Amino acid sequence: MNYNKKGQPYVIEGRFRLTELEGEVEYCRVRFLQTGYTKAVPSKFVKTGDFDDSSILHEFLEEENMTLVIPTTPKPVTLVHKGEAPKPKTLELKTDNLSNSVTLVDNNVIKQKEFVAIATSPKGKEIKVADIEAFCKVHNLDLEAVQAVLEGEQKTHKRWRFTKA
């Protein structure tokens, strides 16, 4: 094992000669141990150690040309239902003169959607349905057939039973 002037370890794998303008030039096939890169170097440079592992230079240049991607944190997303204005929550302060206690009362209590129907699945599970159209899309049911079951014109639709709430 030999070292060049930059301290990179290498091994000479073979020698060969080429005819050039100066005459016959001897070359050495050199393999660098750190990177495994093989290079043909004139033997006069091998004797003086004036050569280096150019694969490191190529890797560095490729890294320089790479674009840097910096991940950014997304802004928080707020969801607003389409067609509804956001309703601020107002609290009213009520005092009871007799006991001097203070009670906060919420005037805009959010009411839950009223249930239109109760659906019984083929497995016997009961589900409260607020929106029949959305329920039919989710469970792949025909809306007209479900309405016929609710009106009593037929008993079931795809083994689903429906009753009005």
Number of folded domains that form the chain = 2
Q: Is residue 83 part of a domain?
A: no
Is 148 part of any domain? yes
95 and 141 both lie in a single domain: yes
In tens digits, the chain (165 residues) has pLDDT values of 888 888 889 999 999 998 888 889 999 999 988 888 898 999 999 999 888 887 776 665 555 555 555 555 555 555 555 555 555 544 455 555 555 555 555 555 545 567 789 999 999 999 998 888 989 998 999 999 999 999 999 999 999 999 987
Q: Residue written as tokens 């050199």? A: 30
Pairing of strands 38-42, 9-20: unpaired
User: Is residue 128 one of the residues assigned to a domain?
Assistant: yes
115 token code pair? 């249930």
Q: Is the pTM of this model over 0.85?
A: no
Q: Which CATH number is 125's domain given?
A: 1.10.10.10
165 and 96 together in one domain: yes
∠ CA 23-27-28, nearest 5°, is 165
Residue 40 domain flag = yes
Measured between alpha carbons, how far apart are the two ends of the chain, in Å? 89
Q: Is residue 14 part of a domain?
A: yes
Structure tokens at 3: 């070292």
- Over the Cα atoms of the chain, what is R_g? 41
Q: Which residues does residue 12 pair with via DSSP β-bridges, in sequence order? A: 30
Indicate if 96 and 164 belong to the same structural domain: yes
One-character DSSP codes across 62-99: HHHHSPP----PPPPP----TT-PPPPP-EEEEEETTT
In a domain? residue 105: yes
Quote the domain boundaries for residue 31. Answer: 2-53
Whether residue 165 is found in the same domain as residue 95: yes
